Structure 1
Amino acid sequence: MTFDYKKEYKEFYLPPKKPGIIDIPEINYIAIQGKGDPNEPDGEYKNAMGLLYGIAFTLKMSYKGEHKIDGYFPYVVPPLEGLWYQDGSDGDIDYSRKQDLRWVSMIRLPEFVTRDEFDWAVREATERKKTDFSKVEFFVYREGLCAQCMHVGSYDAEPATLQKIHEFLHEQGYKTDLSGQRLHHEIYLGDPRRTAPEKLRTVIRLPIREG
């Protein structure tokens, strides 16, 4: 049976539209850090997607080759995720300044992928695809206490959902705790190339602390 992280960890990937509080453990990712408008054609963000998925599928399909990963199990590649911030801001995202965005684009790694196996995948993908994968990193992220909910609609409509989260936090006695280590987090459950903007589903997650 193929393991699907979205189904096995619904509390992380399929929250309700109503905000709630969750504690997120340490998770390992394939990641690339960059900056700029994610909508820019042929921009840094678009190029990062090819690199991320190149490593993700090298690991997923490794069982077909000579290199066998200890503890490997069949799995669905987890959804694309992103950490977002802007220099000079207080942590909130200004959607009118997309050119100033900084991001960490990432895909969750299965637990059997150690740093050594990740390094193997980078070497393997580099050799097979004749592409420079040096920007891709093994990224460990421990979010801790967060508020999250499902946003349904276009990415540009996210401020309304963020306002809903802020109102919830005020009612519950919490505050956002955005910093250089704790960032605005999104998980993308729809493909914008194939899904109407009003039907896109995005998990929005913010780090919090008691107010």
Structure 2
Amino acid sequence: MAFDYKKEYKEFYFPKAVPGIVTVPRMNFLAVRGSGDPNAEDGEYKGAIGLLYGIAFTIKMSKKGDHRIDGYFDYVVPPLEGFWWQEGTAGIDYTRKEDFKWISVIRLPDFVTEEDFKWAIAEASEKKKQDFSKVEFLTYQEGLCVQCMHIGAYDEEPETVEKMHQFMKEQGYVLDITDQRYHHEIYLSDARRVAPEKRKTVIRHPIKKAVRLR
């Protein structure tokens, strides 16, 4: 049976619909960087998703070709995720989608090395006759975060974020969104098939301990 990261690491992919604190370890990802409204029909975002899945499935299906990856085991491709920010904003302003900067990512199994990644880029480029040069191998250690399962439309996320921030403060933490630590979303529902009110999205924000004034 294929290894499913969502089921094996439920603390990262299936948090409760109430805020909680989590420490996220270092992970490797396929990543594509871009900017602009993710809903734009011909925007960068939709193109980025296609590139990510093209490489993700090239790696997964390597078992059927000549390239052998050391330590390979069959697995379910993890869900699409995204790191989001806007210049000059400590958080996300959902009314200014055109100002979004983002890194779209899909988690890689630990057995995938940078050399395996380079092979996958070359393999997909050759077989699909497409430019995959925007895809990069990204190592990211998220660290201490507050997270919550958001159920509903993406535009309703501010309500969940507000609950997360209130909980964070009650637990003695402050928000730590920086140039290196981002608003993070994990998409557990296929937006093409699931009604907005039923979509499940993990929302995660970086935090740090509040400084106590004496």
TM-score bin (small chain)? over 0.9
- Summarize deviations over 1:13-49 as a string: whole Å, max 9, x none: 0000110001101000000000000000021000001
2:171 aligned residue: 172
2:204 aligned residue: 205
Separation in 2 of the partners of 1:39 and 1:63? 35
Separation in 1 of the partners of 2:119 and 2:113? 10
1:46 maps to amino acid? K
1:26-45 matches, within 5 Å, as: 26-45=26-45
1:50 aligned residue: 50
Alignment identity in percent? Answer: 64
Separation in 1 of the partners of 2:191 and 2:169? 32
1:173: Cα distance to partner? 1.0
1:178-193 matches, within 5 Å, as: 178-193=177-192
Separation in 2 of the partners of 1:87 and 1:171? 28
Count of equivalent residues = 210
1:26-105 matches, within 5 Å, as: 26-89=26-89, 91-105=90-104
1:195 aligned residue: 194
Separation in 2 of the partners of 1:28 and 1:67? 20
Correspondence 1:156 to 2:155: yes
- Summarize deviations over 1:50-73 as a string: whole Å, max 9, x none: 100000000000000111111110
1:142: Cα distance to partner? 0.4
Normalised by the size of structure 2, how large is the TM-score?
0.97
1:75-154 matches, within 5 Å, as: 75-89=75-89, 91-154=90-153
Separation in 2 of the partners of 1:88 and 1:181? 14
Normalised by the size of structure 1, how large is the TM-score?
0.99
Separation in 2 of the partners of 1:15 and 1:88? 30
1:86: Cα distance to partner? 0.2
Name segments (4+ residues, structure 1) moved above 4 Å. Answer: none
1:170: Cα distance to partner? 1.4
Structure 2 unaligned regions, length at least 5: none
Separation in 2 of the partners of 1:146 and 1:40? 30
SS in 2 for 1:107: strand
SS in 2 for 1:134: coil
Aligned-residue CA RMSD (Å): 0.5
- Summarize deviations over 1:179-205 as a string: whole Å, max 9, x none: 010000000000110000000000000
1:16 aligned residue: 16
Separation in 1 of the partners of 2:172 and 2:151? 26
Separation in 1 of the partners of 2:88 and 2:18? 30
SS in 1 for 2:130: coil
Separation in 2 of the partners of 1:6 and 1:135? 26
Separation in 1 of the partners of 2:180 and 2:195? 33
1:141 maps to amino acid? Y
1:139: Cα distance to partner? 0.4
SS in 2 for 1:61: helix
